[in-house]
Structure 1
Amino acid sequence: MSLLDRVRTTLPTSLASSDEPRDWRQLSIAAGYGAVGAVTLGLLLIVPVMAAWAADARSTTSWTDALSFAGDGWALAHRGHVSVAADAATHSVTFAPLVLTALAVVFARMAAKAMLTHLSGRAGAWWEGPAAYIAGYVVSGLVITGLSLSGPAHPNLFTVFPGALVVGFAGCVWALLRSDEPVAEQAKTFVGQRISLSTRRALRPATEGLLGYLGVGLVVVLLLLVTHASQVGDLSGQLDTGLLGGVVLWLGQLAALPNLLVWSAGWTTGASMQLGAVSVGGTSVHGGLLPMIPVLGAVPGAGALPAITVAAPLLPVLLGVFVGYRSLGNLTTYASLRTKAITAAQAAGMTVAMVLLLSWLSTAGVSGGSLDYVGPSLMIVPLLVVELLLGALLATLFLHWKRALRR
């Protein structure tokens, strides 16, 4: 056998399977850390819920029912559906304030980072500890939401599961990427052996592309708020919520700010944005009734939009150009056009995947009412793919041609 054959048939020590028995105690600890990551958000939600209940002298809700709202909030943050009875009918509410979802990911990452320190030197495959952690997070999340079933609102556990799995997985992957523990190093080596170099190079530009996408949404939202400030103020004044109610209302709107950014950025692709009965298209708005939420006063009135909005789809194309430019930053001048195009296309594709995941998490709705669906239409999928890929490939061709002229 040649030396090359030996290298190909021998696994690194860190990745080779172990014949030693599994350490179930350490796996149980890993699952326990997953539970801690899930419970942390629940405890955080208990504080404002109970504070609001105690401060409202007119509240007729028992403290146990008020406490169950924290579980409902946990379910909503993970894009679960919560059934609420109103006017002799039951409505299913879907609304994940992305600030809370981001906090859930942060708490999941903190717990996963602590979990990794207890897995050094354990027997078995490297993925068993992280898998136990994710399982602990999901199961604990389902228990938290299950306990709230005794309250006036009833979360649907089946709809909580996908979001809890995504958040637990995201927190664990984040911790693995930023850790130097043996398990994390084994995970990085395992992934590095199975993912091409161009894919790894495309990860950072794709993340920057996602931030750029949210930046585009922020610009649109700020423009709407500035140009419709009087309508927002009028709605806020008509509600007469009082001091505590006003604080809760504006905190809720701030928690949903990332949702607005995702929806607004999705509108720039040319896909319409649905606000229940109201449809905001690329050139016009089809009106309808909206609830009296101050920030919705920034939605343009029914009718034609300014002519400049026709050029909005250029923004995602320019974002694709930026992603393509950043993806070529780690490549040498003499890299082939094929290599550059593959790296840029993969970066654009990863950006699309992350944007679509955020779009799914951000969608909202109340069944049986005027807000049955809130979010971008499904047309965002083909439009975003075409626009980002077009921009990334145009940037690749231009930069390759420009650098070729310098030789």
Structure 2
Amino acid sequence: MKLRADQTGDRGIPMPLWLQGALESAQAAVISALVVLAPIVAVWATAGFQNNNFDALARLGGQAWLLIHGVPLHLTTVAGDAAAQPESGTLSLIPLGLTLIPFLLAWRAGRRLARASYTDQLWQALLGSWLVYAGFGMATGFVCRTDDVAIFLWFAGLMPLVPFGLGMVVGARREAGSWSRLIGVDAVDWIARTSQHSRWAGSYLGSAIKAGFVALMAAFTMSAALLAVDLFIHWDLVIAVYEGLDAGAMGGAVLTIAQLGFLPNLAVFALAWTSGSGFALGVGSQAGPLGTAVGPLPSIPVFAALPAGPLDYGFVALVVPVLAGALAGWWFLREGENHFDEWLSIKIRSRWFTASASTIVLGAIIGVAAGLMAGGLAWMARGSAGIGRLTDIGPDPLSTALWVAAEVGIGVVIGYAAGPWLERQQKLREADLDTAKP
């Protein structure tokens, strides 16, 4: 099975796949570095840094490049006079919006490499690409280490492979059309050799996991919409913070870019907020739908939109994951893959019991799937801002997973139970429309 037309050099000699992968990763590394360095250079050009040496600028750009790839930076500062004890901490809060830059570049590279490879040879291109990208990260970590910023070289080499490797695999899969074709496995033949019960169980669990993803995406979308509404309502407070900073046109633009880089993190914070688990903005703080208790925050404009104090109707936000679960339950009903209900109804003749039991089990499975994915998002979005109170920022993954799982599970039971009625209503509307047509 072939995925490609061969890539050739100037003399018509096929380019080795490992070399093509290396070139693709080098291109992606350089482009992502330039994109990250551009706003830093803009601030440097307007004398926005105390240290205007070019080598300091280059190291700062390299550290920012490592941070958007998830590499933690270990900071050490001395507060006050020289006799004070140094403070140390870890900067691990990843701007997920900027992480999309290497991910999308890798997605493009993965598609190109898939077109250039046979199914059983793609690993050569991927291996060459990942080795070069890891080498680029390790070299960047080695060059950009300072007395104030320590970087573990193994982290610098391996952590960038997570967003880059994921993007490349997703892009290659997009070009191949299926996971089985991507890895050279005949999935149809493998499934055909399994028993009918195994196929039913697999389709049931697969559809339940997909429904969990539907629930998570629905809850995430609604939470992001609430975040947008909150920013709109408190826009005057956000503008007041901008005016108070008086950072100038260039400084304001860079500050806005940095906040946009953290916008996906804020959307995950909003998901945790609507679930009821809330999130932290500093050690000992908590922001949730039932109230907000945080200490002094830095002058970052987006923080001005944070609801303060007790909220009279904040508990209404808890309905968001439940609605998302109801949507997932209806989606699962339309999939028609509830083979556990079919099996249970054969074993037990009491339909009222089998329908109730299978629906509760379905809600538990989809809720667990959505909760695990929500916990993963919370883990990626949280982190430490380095030193001081802001060493604990973001939602707790375990708490977020439990709240989302419970609320989505309840919604799935409601949505699946109400699904037949919704289907009948939809068919009646379609019939009325057909009757009204001339």
What TM-score, normalized to structure 1?
0.79
Per-residue CA deviation, residues 293-338 of structure 1 (Å, 9 max, x unaligned), is: 111111223x3222x2123222111111112222333337x96635
Residue 288 in structure 1 maps to residue 295 in structure 2: yes
Secondary structure of the equivalent of 1:329?
Answer: helix
Counterpart position of 1:19 = none
Counterpart position of 1:251 = 257
Secondary structure of the equivalent of 1:291?
Answer: coil
Counterpart position of 2:203 = 197
Greater mean alpha carbon deviation, residues 231-240 or residues 249-258: 231-240
Question: Which of the numbers 418, 421, 424 marks the counterpart of 1:398?
Answer: 418
Q: Distance in 2 between the 1:338 and 1:390 partners?
A: 22
Counterpart position of 2:98 = 100
5+ residue gaps, structure 2, are: 3-13, 80-85, 192-198, 344-357, 428-438
Per-residue CA deviation, residues 217-256 of structure 1 (Å, 9 max, x unaligned), is: 2233233323333332222222111221111111111221
Q: 1:237 to 1:183 in 2, by over 3 A?
A: closer
Per-residue CA deviation, residues 165-206 of structure 1 (Å, 9 max, x unaligned), is: 431332123113311389972437456747933455456655
Q: Distance in 2 between the 1:382 and 1:290 partners?
A: 28
Q: Is the 8 A contact 1:275 1:374 kept in 2?
A: yes
Q: Distance in 1 between the 2:89 and 2:293 partners?
A: 25
Alignment of 1:227-376 (within 5 A): 227-277=233-283, 278-301=285-308, 303-306=309-312, 308-331=313-336, 337=341, 349-376=368-395
- Shift, 1:261, TM fit: 0.8
Q: Is the 8 A contact 1:112 1:175 kept in 2?
A: yes
Larger radius of gyration: 2
Counterpart position of 1:4 = none
Q: 1:145 to 1:320 in 2, by over 3 A?
A: farther
In structure 2, give the amino acid aligned to 1:43.
L
Secondary structure of the equivalent of 1:89?
Answer: strand
Q: Is the 8 A contact 2:42 2:250 kept in 1?
A: no
- Shift, 1:257, TM fit: 1.3
Q: Distance in 2 between the 1:154 and 1:203 partners?
A: 41
Q: 1:228 to 1:101 in 2, by over 3 A?
A: same
Residue 75 in structure 1 maps to residue 66 in structure 2: yes
Counterpart position of 1:6 = none
In structure 2, give the amino acid aligned to 1:90.
S
In structure 2, give the amino acid aligned to 1:115.
L
- Shift, 1:367, TM fit: 3.9
Q: Is the 8 A contact 1:41 1:104 kept in 2?
A: yes
Counterpart position of 1:214 = 220
- Shift, 1:394, TM fit: 3.3
Q: Is the 8 A contact 1:53 1:63 kept in 2?
A: no
Q: Distance in 2 between the 1:270 and 1:183 partners?
A: 37
- Give the length in aligned residue pairs: 381
Q: 1:75 to 1:338 in 2, by over 3 A?
A: farther
Counterpart position of 2:145 = 149
What TM-score, normalized to structure 2?
0.74
- Shift, 1:376, TM fit: 0.8
Q: 1:218 to 1:121 in 2, by over 3 A?
A: closer
Q: Is the 8 A contact 1:75 1:160 kept in 2?
A: yes
User: C-alpha root-mean-square deviation of aligned residues, in Å?
Assistant: 3.6
Alignment of 1:125-140 (within 5 A): 127=123, 129-140=125-136
Q: Is the 8 A contact 1:348 1:389 kept in 2?
A: yes
5+ residue gaps, structure 1, are: 1-12, 15-22
Secondary structure of the equivalent of 1:379?
Answer: helix
Residue 56 in structure 1 maps to residue 47 in structure 2: yes
In structure 2, give the amino acid aligned to 1:388.
V
Q: Is the 8 A contact 1:327 1:347 kept in 2?
A: no
Per-residue CA deviation, residues 57-82 of structure 1 (Å, 9 max, x unaligned), is: 76533112211222212221122211
